[in-house]
Amino acid sequence: MSTVQPKLVKPFVAGCGTRRQGKAYLYSDMQKYLDEYPFSYFIFDPPIMIDPKEWGLAPISLNYIFNEGYWHVVDWIGETHYPNAADILEEAFTNNGSTLTPLEHEIEKLTPGYSRRLLVHPKGFVHNANLMKQDRLNITRVPECFLEEGEYRKMHIDHMSSEMCAALHWQNVRDKGEKHRKVIDRFIGDTHYEAATVAPEWDLQYSPAIIGWLPIDEIHVIEGAEKSAEDKAIEFLQEFSNLPIYLTNA
């Protein structure tokens, strides 16, 4: 049986709000990893286009898949809270990654240090990406392409090509009230980042795609007034989870 340790975390507002008391969350300590790796390490370039029906995915859901010897979580990101693919990436890299997880026996499949949370966004792949390439604006921190010269995959910087590039997530942002293409400071909860808005004349064609991944380090149970819900979650996780369990303040 896993022991439960207390942990103080910095409260913040995510695109989907604050974490709920008595609930369990898969957590990725991205600040630890970003001290060692660039954030491009956790981005799929190009994004991996998928058929949700073949994968058994539904909007705002968690599914488990087995790949290369370990189980992973496929997390469909809700477009209502994260309209743009860059929203969830920036939030995870800035404020760590956290996702509500149901208390189900599949959670025992996850292996700390090896299991990943795969981020699926409904607008993760753009079929006519050449529209953005031909009118690319300069975004701080984001290169023309996340691939480097000499890698086994070709860089996606041909401005006439419709080949999708992950760097275009930051060229493809829809922000309330913006009617002209320009560079803005985009705010999603407590996260803000620089991005370029969509030109009104573009008719971009989207498909769901895996846009990035996060290591699954631990599981958090949020303490609060509902002691019974908190105890129920901890009891379940102690029996079925192999991940370190923390009782957190927020």
Q: Mean per-residue pLDDT for 221-225?
A: 88
- Predicted confidence at residue 204, as pLDDT, reads 96
- 59 pLDDT band, cuts 50/70/90, is confident
CA atoms lying within 13 Å on the CB side of residue 94: 19
Q: Mean per-residue pLDDT for 197-205?
A: 95
Neighbours of 227 (CB within 10 A): 11
- For the cut 80, the answer to whether the pLDDT of residue 200 exceeds it is yes
Residue 211 contacts residue 44 (beta carbons within 8 Å)? yes
- Predicted confidence at residue 58, as pLDDT, reads 84
Q: Mean per-residue pLDDT for 78-92?
A: 96
Q: How far apart are CA 86 and CA 195, in angstroms?
A: 9
**pTM of the predicted model, to two decimals?**
0.94
Q: How far apart are CA 6 and CA 230, in angstroms?
A: 13
DSSP code at position 173: B
Q: Which domain holds residue 19?
A: 4-248
Question: At 171, phi and psi to the nearest 5?
Answer: -105, 10
- Predicted confidence at residue 152, as pLDDT, reads 64
What is the residue-wise DSSP string for 139-163? -TT--S-SS-TTSSSPP---TT---
Mean per-residue pLDDT of the chain:
93
Number of domains in the chain: 1
- Predicted confidence at residue 177, as pLDDT, reads 80
- Predicted confidence at residue 151, as pLDDT, reads 63
- 198 pLDDT band, cuts 50/70/90, is very high
Q: Mean per-residue pLDDT for 54-58?
A: 88
- Predicted confidence at residue 229, as pLDDT, reads 87
Q: DSSP 3-state assignment of 82?
A: coil
Question: At 194, phi and psi to the nearest 5?
Answer: -90, 135
Digit-coded pLDDT (tens) for 151-180: 667 899 998 999 999 999 999 999 988 889
- For the cut 70, the answer to whether the pLDDT of residue 135 exceeds it is yes
